[in-house]
Amino acid sequence: MNEAAPLPWQDDLLVAQLRLIAHSAADVTGYGVAEIRVADEDGQLHLAAREGAHADRTPETVEHYPLNDRDGRLIGTLDFALPPEGARSGKGGQVPIHRYATQAGDAILLALDRHRAAEEARHAQTVRDLVRSAMSDLTDGADLEAALGRVADVMMAHFQLAGLWFMISGDAEARLPDVRRGHVPDRTVVPVDDKGGLATRLWRQQEVALLTLDQQLHLEEADERIIAAAREFLVQAGYASQASAPLCTETMFIGPIRAWRAIGAPRWSEIELDTLGEIGREVGQVLAAALADQRDQELIADLRALNAYKSDMVSTVSHELKNPLAALLTNLEMLDDPQPSGADRRQVLGAIARSTQRMTRIIDDLLLLGSEGEAEHGPLDLVPLVREVCEAAGDAAALRGQQIVLRAPARPVMVSGDATELDRLTMNLVSNAIKYSPSGTRIRVTLQRDGSDAVLSVVDQGIGIAPPDQQRIFGEFVRSTDPDALAAPGTGLGLAIVQRIVERHQGSIEVESEPGEGSTFRVRIAVRDDDGGR
């Protein structure tokens, strides 16, 4: 038998099988020579086996049988030749020669399948190694998005993809990078999940789904509209298939990997789909660790902020309580005078009462800030409440040469609310306007109904608030960075309390201000309708 250079998939097992088939065919059929050739990728035939009584000669072929694969592609031939004298031995009889052709074809197909599986396994391992190498960069503090980008590039090249998307979903969508390659649809065309929970089911069953133009795998329970939309995208993009594997750990689903192949690209093999699923799990482990690290960092930041808040609160409250306590102690010492005059005694008792009231207000403020839920609502007319606050604050404004101008409707403005809290809200806004406005200015307080809302506006002509401070002034223990504002005494709780009361009444508050031009605070609370509802 003449030897020929073996093809890549032509292993020793195949050669032995083909020699045995050729030997048996030549012997049983009575032909002098049986030859089996195999075809390469270009269709060129290569001699793989020559057996028979005259195998050392080159007789003329008299019988030719093509060997085809399942798709009708030529993979080899089986040829028979007579001996040189042209006489076929008689022991062959009517043996069906096609049986040997079938055996030879099956042997070649099995060899091709073995070779293809081995190549796919080697390819899959290469992909795994490259992906692990890219993800291992994260242990050295590499950027997550850059590492995922390298993984995506590896997958695009080695899976021969036209599109790829690490489709992060749920809470993780805002925390993890959105990595895409090639042409991919948006989430409305190919959503993460459907009403049947397909993506979640794939995660729980550790399956990889495949959708092509004419078939589907592990998509039995999918919403048909989602399948139709995905197929429409395949057609529009010139794609042949979409594979989906879960990005996950055993306990967490982060989203799917979606991978698209163009028309003309190889079909997905079982090994490739398994590899895609494995990559989804490995990348999922890294993403889950990144999420856990982010949450740890956020928790640490929250704890630090809480500690700073506690320190600020202790410092501020201690400072604010220290002054009235000192005044209280001083006045108590004055009461030790065995013969105080009546006027002195009344003055001391008045100072003690004011100090006690100031401490009580601070404590009430802290209790209000710590309260949960909504206020206890009842029918309340804001008109007399706002008028009483303006009258009570009028003396303080007059002492500073200021004037409070109230504009309110004659008819009631009814809301559902807590009178004590809304009184404090109004007083805090008016007191702030007095505190931060110069002498000779007006403070305009307006109450009106605007559609379904009661609107309270307090407008001053004071020092104003810088834009950066406007974003933070409703925080607890927060004060303006303006030196003139810091010169005025205060706990930094006034506007935080206003915000808290507004929230407890399901309302809203906004501020408009320019440094040096005054401020406008506007509170909206839903009015109470005729039947007592909101």
Measured distance CA(65)–CA(181) in Å, rounded = 48
Residue type, 435: K
The continuous run of DSSP H or E covering 453 comes out as: strand 453-459
| Model pLDDT, residue 68 | 86
Contact 509, 523 (CB under 8 A): yes
Q: How far apart are CA 485 and CA 482, in angstroms?
A: 5
Predicted confidence at residue 92, as pLDDT, reads 47
Asked if 31 and 54 count as a contact pair (C-beta separation under 8 A), the reply is: no
Between vectors from CA 198 to CA 195 and to CA 169, what angle results, nearest 5°?
85
User: What is the pLDDT, as a whole number, of residue 414?
Assistant: 94
CA distance 145 to 135: 11
What Rg, from alpha-carbon coordinates, does the chain have?
A: 43
Predicted pLDDT at 101: 77
pLDDT, one tens digit for every residue, the chain (534 residues):
334 455 666 677 778 888 888 888 888 877 888 888 888 777 788 888 888 877 776 667 678 888 888 778 888 888 888 765 555 555 544 456 777 778 877 887 887 777 777 777 777 777 777 777 766 765 544 588 888 888 899 889 888 999 999 988 888 888 888 899 999 887 766 665 555 577 777 888 888 999 998 888 887 777 788 888 888 889 999 999 999 999 999 899 998 899 999 998 888 888 888 889 888 888 888 888 888 888 888 889 888 887 776 776 666 666 566 666 777 777 777 777 666 666 667 777 777 777 777 677 777 777 776 666 555 778 999 999 999 999 988 888 998 899 999 999 999 999 999 898 899 899 889 988 998 889 989 999 999 999 999 999 999 998 888 887 877 788 766 655 555 544 455 556 778 888 888 988 999 999 998 888 889 999 999 998 754 555
Reported in sequence order, the residue ranges of 202-328 that DSSP labels E, i.e. its strands, are 209-212, 216-217, 239-248, 253-262
**Cα gap 187→457, rounded to integer Å:** 44
**What local confidence, expressed as pLDDT, does residue 94 receive?**
43
Please, what are the domains in the chain? Answer: 12-115 (3.30.450.40), 123-295 (3.30.450.40), 378-526 (3.30.565.10)
Distance CA 418, CA 378 (A): 6
The residue with tokens 């807590």 is: 418
Residue 338, classed as helix, strand or coil, is coil
Report whether 147 contacts 262 (CB < 8 A).
no
- The dihedral built from the CA positions of residue 232, 235, 240 and 244, taken in this order, carries a sign that is negative
431: tokens are 């007191």
Q: Specify the DSSP element, H or E, that contains 381.
A: strand 378-381
Task: Give the pLDDT of residue 164.
Answer: 95
User: What's the pTM value of the predicted model, to 2 decimals?
Assistant: 0.52
Neighbours of 284 (CB within 10 A): 23
* CA angle, 305 then 307 then 313, to 5°: 100
Residue 210: CB atoms within 10 A of its CB come to 22
Predicted local confidence at residue 135, as pLDDT? 67
**CA geometry: angle 333, 336, 341, nearest 5 deg:** 110
Q: What is the helix (H) or strand (E) element at residue 443, kind and residue range?
A: strand 442-450
Structure-token match 């029918």, residue found: 379
